[in-house]
Amino acid sequence: MQNVRFEIKWAVIFVCMMLVWMTLELLAGLHDVHIDKHALYSNFVAIPAILVYVLALKDKKANFYKGNMSYKQGFVCGVIISVFVMLLTPLVQVITSLAISPQYFTNVINYSVANNIMTETEAKAYFNLKNYIIQSTIFAPVMGIITSAIVAFFVKTKTTTA
């Protein structure tokens, strides 16, 4: 447990960032008045998500590897963070759906049906807590591993040849 304490800390930081992001989406009206823009603007969460991974790997490099971290060490750290994020993802979805934005599913179903994007049956099947938990739990490690692979490349110690 001591060995992964660092990664758990950064997974919790990531989860907190996601909850703040969901709150900002709600406050910006992306869960109701501007729900038509939600699909576009929600993608910008990638910016703070990548930033969290950059900060985590730089922290690991500085404090655990004394400034000398290999690609593999950075990648493994990112993957472990991603696993813990995945484990916490259902909780994030429950908090988002029940506490932060309890009307989101109703609003997005109504919008999808009113704009002939989906039938009511299709919308209800897609926009619900169970489906979002499944989707986000699959999506979290996939994107986390991809992000880890890219960030580890840039954060690793550069080797020089003389």
Q: Give the lowest-confidence range in 17-21, 91-95, 140-144, 156-160.
A: 156-160
Whole-prediction pTM: 0.93
HSE, side-chain direction, 13 A CA sphere, residue 106 = 4
Longest dimension (CA), the chain: 66
pLDDT of residue 86: 98
pLDDT of residue 1: 59
Write the burial class of residue 6 (CB in 10 Å: 0-12 exposed, 13-18 middle, 19+ buried).
middle
CB-CB contact of 113 with 123 (8 Å): yes
pLDDT tens digits for 87-102? 999 999 999 999 999 9
- The full set of domain ranges for the chain reads 2-155
Q: Considering Cα of 14, then 19, then 23, then 28, what sign does the dihedral take? A: positive
Q: Considering Cα of 76, then 82, then 83, then 85, what sign does the dihedral take? A: positive
Cα distance between residue 5 and residue 106, in whole Å: 39
pLDDT tens digits for 57-91? 999 999 999 999 999 999 999 999 999 999 999 99
Rounded alpha-carbon distances, angstroms, from residue 113 to 72, 97, 125, 127, 131: 47, 20, 12, 12, 18
pLDDT of residue 3: 84
